[in-house]
Amino acid sequence: MKYIAHRGNIKGPNPADENTYEYLRYAWAQGHDVECDLIAHRGILYMGHDEPIELANTNFIQHEAVWCHAKNLEALELLIAMRTNCFWHEKDTVTLTSRGNIWCYPGHFPRNKRAVWLDLEGIELPEDRTGIYGVCGDTL
């Protein structure tokens, strides 16, 4: 099973550093896949959840171990054109990533070899995690 560092977190939430290139790269250098939020504005991709934080490093986000969460439709269009591993959702139970994984909304746990469950504060995951692709969370 694969662990995906949510916004680069591996030791709990860290809002001051989340979604910054250096923070994400640190988790990636530790051998983890990373999930990052990207926003587009006027054709330019930025790292950030609710607002742009810094310009996106296009070489980094195109790596197969980076899961790009588009935060607006413009970002999704740019990420698809760049052939990144990306997805977009709001409150859908699940969404498919550009590489065919099932990205699950918090609290939904389909047992499927392509499913990625979210392990976030306040969400209790089933103890048995066999048969899924991975878990995206803030803590190892």
Domain count, the chain: 1
Amino acid at residue number 111: R
Query: In the block, which residue shows the tokens 């991709």?
Result: 45
Tell me what the mean pLDDT of segment 120-125 comes to.
89
Tell me what the mean pLDDT of segment 9-22 comes to.
95
Q: Indicate whether 111 pLDDT > 90.
A: yes
Instruction: Measure CA 81 to chain center.
Output: 18
List beta partners, residue 117: 135
Domain of 67 in residue numbering reads as 2-137
Residue 132 has a pLDDT of 98
Greater confidence (140 vs 24) lies with: 24
Tell me what the mean pLDDT of segment 35-47 comes to.
97
140: confidence class by pLDDT, cuts 50, 70, 90: confident
Q: CA-to-CA distance for 80 and 45, rounded, in angstroms?
A: 12
Residue 69 has a pLDDT of 98
pTM over 0.85: yes
Task: Using the Cα atoms of residue 50, residue 36, residue 90 and residue 64 in order, give the sign of their dihedral.
Answer: positive
pLDDT tens-place string over residues 53-76 = 899 999 999 999 999 999 999 999
